[in-house]
Amino acid sequence: MITLTEENYIKAIYHIGDNGKLSVKTNAIAEAMNTKASSVTDMIKKLSDKNYADYKKYQGVTLTENGKRVAINIIRKHRLWEVFLVEKLNFTWDEVHEVAEHLEHIKSDKLVDELDAFLEHPTHDPHGDPIPDKDGNFHHIDKIVLAKAEVGETYKCVGVDDTSTAFLQYLDSNNIALGTIITVKHKEPYDNSVKISLEHYEIVVSQSVAKNLYLKKV
């Protein structure tokens, strides 16, 4: 039986390692998990013994295929619960992450499949992140960050890279959400800020915002 802590480590390794593609250093895991490197080493040994991870000294750790399946399943549950919380329980998109962190550990395949069906098989969560299907397949869309968008072009907001409460509340205060139509008016070379046009007004957003807002050309 896999434990909640083991699941959290597997998910962290998956995300840090570019969705399970890269080897991850123990110090990076320790930073992400807010723990000591020695604790990470102990956990990696446990994960290796259970065939969830493959550790090579001085090279780092990668997830096995078994570990990747676990990570993707956790992500699937997390993002489905976020959709449920927003669409059915009236949570806002800045409120759901912490709650979903708990719900993602419920171990019932039937519950997850019924939740998916109840929500009519959503492909993306409230932050625009793709939801893997029960076979682990992700539905990807072509998107770029605002910082790389072309001046004069019009786009639709399709996601965020920063899901922190502060950032999402900032977007809310400026009436930016998934589906918002954005026209790029000007890029300031001095500080890389970007002037954008929304439905009724124009605003200037910082480089930090521009690097965390995903768009798709319309």
> Which pLDDT tens digit goes with each residue over 28-45?
999 999 999 999 999 999
Query: Residue 20's pLDDT is what?
Result: 87
Cβ-proximal residues to 26 (8 Å cutoff; 6+ apart), any chain: 37, 40, 41, 44, 60, 61
Query: Residue 57's pLDDT is what?
Result: 82
DSSP-based three-state secondary structure for 38: helix
CA 89 from chain centre, in angstroms, equals 21
20 compared with 188, residue with greater pLDDT = 188
Residues 196 and 202 sit within 8 Å (Cβ to Cβ) = yes
Q: How far apart are CA 17 and CA 6, in angstroms?
A: 16
Cβ-proximal residues to 114 (8 Å cutoff; 6+ apart), any chain: none
CA 157 from chain centre, in angstroms, equals 16
Query: Residue 149's pLDDT is what?
Result: 98
CA atoms within 13 A on the CB side of 12: 23
* Domains defined for the chain, CATH in brackets: 4-63 (1.10.10.10), 144-217 (2.30.30.90)
Mean pLDDT of 97-121: 97
Residues 182 and 154 sit within 8 Å (Cβ to Cβ) = yes
Residues 105 and 4 sit within 8 Å (Cβ to Cβ) = yes
